[in-house]
Amino acid sequence: MKNLIEIDDITVRLKRSTRRKTVDLVVGRSGEVELLLPENFSDANAAGIIKRKQLWIYKTLDLKRRALKDVATKDYTTGEAFYFMGRRYPLALADEGEDLVLRNGRFCLRRSLAVDGRKAFVAWYTEEAKKIIMERITALSRRVAVYPGKVTIQDLGYNWGSCGKGGRLYFNWKIALLPVEQIDYMLIHELLHLKEPRHSPTFYEMLARAVPEHKQLDRWLMENGAKYQI
């Protein structure tokens, strides 16, 4: 079986898993396209799905490219801006004090850590994401009448969240960069997957009841999500 399928100018990576029962087509934030499949799913059927979804792939890739044009590489120098819960805060380097702190409307990073500033920010965002999610998920769980078994914050690559066995939910630490309405939407989305793992009509019916504006939130994330990175 193939690991890659090329159709016209689209290259799709096939990722098969013995644990997967459903099929998902994913376009990552940097424009990579993946088809997530059960282990014995045939190449021919995979190609058929890609062809049927070809127009959607083109539209999604175009949105990603437009968003990525505005993304600049971070140098971790004074004056650079970093997102937290949807707002941008400037960075200042300090010769002493805490490793990284958000105080008085700005991030303060110890100057000696600037050479590997991303590491300091990832650690800070990870801790903040834990606080934000644990604070909000209880109320949101009551809202949709489903409760997670365990919540883990980690690097999920290009995914914002996922659900696993035993009612476990996983969220990307980058969720802390997003506006609060997007954070809540991500939490509800994954909570509902504990009821319905697939992106089926039943899932979207539940999502529409819980978040009537979910289509607008999805589109916003598709158009803007790439900017919320470090």
The pLDDT tens digits of the residues spanning 58-69 come to 888 877 666 665
User: What percent of the chain lies above the pLDDT cut of 70?
Assistant: 95
pLDDT value, residue 100:
97
Cβ atoms of 37 and 46 within 8 Å: the answer is: yes
Residue 1 clears pLDDT 90, i.e. is over it:
no
Q: Give which of 15, 19, 22, 16 is closest to 40, Cα–Cα.
A: 16
Q: What is the mean pLDDT of residues 14-29?
A: 83
Reported pTM? 0.75
**Domain parsing of the chain, residue ranges:** 4-68, 116-227
Cβ atoms of 76 and 114 within 8 Å: the answer is: yes
Q: What is the mean pLDDT of residues 30-59?
A: 88
- Helix (H) / strand (E) element for 34: namely strand 33-38
Q: What is the mean pLDDT of residues 197-212?
A: 91
Give the 3-state secondary structure of residue 21.
coil
CA geometry: angle at 170 spanning 39 and 154, to 5°? 105
Please give the structure tokens belonging to residue 152: 């883990």
Of 59 and 139, which is predicted with more confidence?
A: 139
Best-predicted range by mean pLDDT (34-38, 73-77, 140-144): 140-144
Q: What is the mean pLDDT of residues 92-110?
A: 94
Q: Per-residue confidence at 29, pLDDT binned at 50, 70, 90?
A: low
- Rounded mean pLDDT of the chain? 89
Residue 70 clears pLDDT 60, i.e. is over it:
no
Q: How many CB atoms lie within 10 A of CB 174?
A: 23
CA distance linking residue 142 with residue 92, whole number of Å: 40
Cβ atoms of 53 and 83 within 8 Å: the answer is: no
Give me the CATH code for the 116-227 domain, please.
3.30.2010.10
